[in-house]
Amino acid sequence: MLLCILSILISVLTGFLLVLLLWPEQKTIFSNFLLKLSLAVGLGFGGSSCLFFFWKITGLSFKWHVIAEIFLVIFLFYLFKKRDPADNSEILPISNADKSFCHKIFQAGFWIMLSLSTTFFIQISLQFPHGERDAFTIWNAHAKFLFSNKYWMDGFTNDMLWFHPDYPLLLPGIIAKFWNYIGHESVIIPVIIAFFFTFATVALLFSSISIFRGKGQGFLAASLLLGIPLFIKYGASQCADVPIGFFILATIVLLSLNKNNYKLLILAGIMAGFAGWMKNEGLLFIFSTVIAYFVVTLLKKGWKTSIKQLLFFISGILPVLAVIVYFKIQFAPPSDIFLFQNPEQIIMKLTDFSRYFVTLSAFIGAICSMGGFIAPILLLIYPFLMGTKISIETKSSILLAFVIMFLILTGYFFIYIITPYDLNWHIKTSINRLFVQLYPAFIFLYFMIVRSPEDIS
Q: Is the separation of the CB atoms in 37 and 204 below 8 Å?
A: no
- Has residue 262 been placed in a domain? yes
How far apart (Å, rounded) are the C-alpha atoms in residues 98 and 391? 22
pLDDT in tens, 404-444: 999 999 999 999 999 988 999 999 999 999 999 999 999 99
Q: Which residues of 212-224 are buried (b: 16+ CB within 10 A; e: fewer)?
A: bbbbbbbbbbbbb
Q: By C-alpha distance, which of 58, 83, 79, 80 is closest to 68?
A: 58
The mean pLDDT value for 82-92 works out to 60
- The three-class DSSP label of residue 67 is helix
Q: What pTM did the predictor assign?
A: 0.94
Question: How confident is residue 222, by pLDDT bands cut at 50, 70 and 90?
Answer: very high
87 domain-assigned: no
Do the domain assignments include residue 92? no
Query: Rounded to whole angstroms, what are the CA distances from 332 to 14, 154, 155, 188, 190?
Result: 28, 11, 9, 28, 23
pLDDT, mean of residues 210-237? 93
- Residue 94 inside a domain? The answer is no
* pLDDT score for 235: 96
The answer as to whether 335 is a domain residue is: yes
Residue 93 within any structural domain of the chain: no
More confident residue, 368 or 37: 37
Residue 91 placed within a domain: no
Q: Identify the pLDDT of residue 373.
A: 59
Range of the domain at 137: 2-81+103-456
Of how many residues is the chain composed? 457
Number of domains present in the structure of the chain: 1
Least Cα distance to 248 among 400, 63, 25, 354 occurs for 400
Integer Cα distance of 164 and 161 in angstroms: 5
Within 10 angstroms of residue 367's Cβ, the number of other Cβ atoms is 12
Domain membership of residue 249 (yes or no) is: yes
Q: pLDDT (tens digit, 9 = 90+) per residue, 187-205?
A: 999 999 999 999 999 999 9
In single-letter form, the type of residue at position 269 comes to: G
The confidence score (pLDDT) of residue 153 equals 74
